[in-house]
Amino acid sequence: GSVIGILGGGQLGRMLSVAAARLGYRTHVFEPAANPPAAHVAEKVVTAPYDDAEALRAFAGGVDVITYEFENVPTAALDLLESLRPIRPNRRALAVSQDRILEKDFLSGIGLTTAPYAAVDDDESLEAALAHIGTPAILKTTRLGYDGKGQARIMDRSDAPAALAEMRGAPAVLEGFVTFTREVSVIAARGLTGEVAAYDPGENVHVGGILSTTTVPATLTPGERTDAVLLAARILNALDYVGVMGVELFVTAGGLVVNEIAPRVHNSGHWTQNGCAVDQFEQHIRAVAGWPLGDGTRHSDVVMENLIGNDILKVPAIAREANAALHLYGKAEARAGRKMGHVNRIRTSG
Ligand code: ATP
Ligand code: MG
Ligand code: MG
């Protein structure tokens, strides 16, 4: 087939569409919001809510395979789409990553370390969870959180009622606070025939819960680097995964702790666009289209910086920098906290 369907038309969908076009594929994007970033590059955009069965059917009818750039696609929409076309990565990967409790159950079930956690839905379960986990801790909604939204820190037991109120009645999970020396992520891919490839881990700095920079190479011991890549491969194999995944890790004195997984291309993998012959977007398209995985060897050191909100005003200056590759998402309005683009600064040749 030659048309790839993408659920979600944000910047990730846009960059997937560019990569698909470079490999000779056309893309159709399904996106509830009007005029999404991917609309500038996709052949077709279906603008409809995820509960519009007719629109979903029409979308599926026009594509050969379906992938996604957004993990919170409603279950009913997936049931319908899955009956019509293959969805890659598969449903289980989505289900697991949509729910922080299922995710941690899955990760600990395959022998990986997560933060200590407990389900919370009221004062009583929060009290019990705090008695078990202690403080400091973080209360997070189990579903739909991103960029640190839907999270409240509990430094002291007295913070508990306010933290619970911030969940607005949604099911939540209490996580013990992990004392980490740094945060890294592994962007890994698995092909249709089961081959696995991983990019060099990147070191991530978050500001206000939002990714600010990713630096490669990360400061890791050789043992940590190996562990990071092997645990990512274990996750992909356990899920019979096809596509690219982002695995967020905390580096601690006691080893690597998995924070969360994202069943899609990942912001912390944007450096690959200028650090590797085959970037994460092409790698994902290769995997879902059944191609062999490409060469993701890092040929350069890179620092990726997100351009968030008013950072967009820095673009004229960045445009004059040497060894700086700009990637802008074509969003009209620069709201606070909104990802407008990123710049990959190539530091050395490796
Ligand atoms: P995104 O999906 O955009 O990466 P998110 O909303 O799912 O973000 P998390 O990754 O859960 O958020 O948390 C955001 C950041 O908060 C983490 O990258 C880390 O810096 C910090 N954090 C989250 N959970 C913990 C924890 N248990 N211990 C220590 N720090 C944490
Ligand atoms: Mg997340
Ligand atoms: Mg995260």
Find out whether 283 is annotated in a ligand binding site: no
Find out whether 147 is annotated in a ligand binding site: yes
Residue pair 153/222 in contact by the 8 Å Cβ criterion: no
Question: What pLDDT is stored for residue 66 in this prediction?
Answer: 98
Considering the domain architecture, whether residues 278 and 325 belong to the same structural domain is answered as: yes
Residues 78, 95: Cα–Cα separation, whole Å: 10
Q: Is 177 in the pocket of ligand 1 (CB under 6 A)?
A: yes
Helices assigned H by DSSP within the chain: 11-22, 53-61, 75-82, 91-98, 100-109, 123-133, 160-166, 222-238, 272-275, 280-288, 315-318
Find out whether 145 is annotated in a ligand binding site: yes
Minimal-distance CA residue to ligand 1 atom 25: 177
Considering the domain architecture, whether residues 224 and 169 belong to the same structural domain is answered as: no
| Residue ranges in the chain modelled with pLDDT below 70 | 1, 349-350
* Domain end position, chosen among 176, 201, 219: 176
Tell me which of 259, 266, 267, 268 to substitute to probe ligand 1's pocket, judged by most ligand atoms within 8 Å of the beta carbon: 259
Question: What pLDDT is stored for residue 1 in this prediction?
Answer: 56
Q: Pick the ligand that lies closest to the CA of residue 97.
A: 2
Q: Pick the ligand that lies closest to the CA of residue 148.
A: 1
Residue 11 maps to which CATH number? 3.40.50.20
ipTM: 0.97
Identify the domain containing residue 25 by its residue range.
3-87
Residue 145 maps to which CATH number? 3.30.1490.20
- Domain membership of residue 106 (yes or no) is no
Question: What pLDDT is stored for residue 350 in this prediction?
Answer: 44
Q: Pick the ligand that lies closest to the CA of residue 150.
A: 1
Ligand 2 (ion): residues with CB under 5 Å are: 260
Question: What pLDDT is stored for residue 281 in this prediction?
Answer: 98
Angle at 51 between CA 59 and CA 144, to 5 degrees: 105
Considering the domain architecture, whether residues 162 and 209 belong to the same structural domain is answered as: no
Considering the domain architecture, whether residues 62 and 206 belong to the same structural domain is answered as: no
Question: What pLDDT is stored for residue 146 in this prediction?
Answer: 82
Residue at token pair 């350069």: 300
CA of 128 to the centre of ligand 1 (A): 22
Considering the domain architecture, whether residues 18 and 77 belong to the same structural domain is answered as: yes
- Burial class from Cβ neighbours inside 10 Å (0-12, 13-18, 19+) for residue 165 reads exposed
Find out whether 11 is annotated in a ligand binding site: no
Amino acid at position 326, single letter: L
Considering the domain architecture, whether residues 190 and 69 belong to the same structural domain is answered as: no
| Cβ within 8 Å of residue 221, ≥6 positions away | none
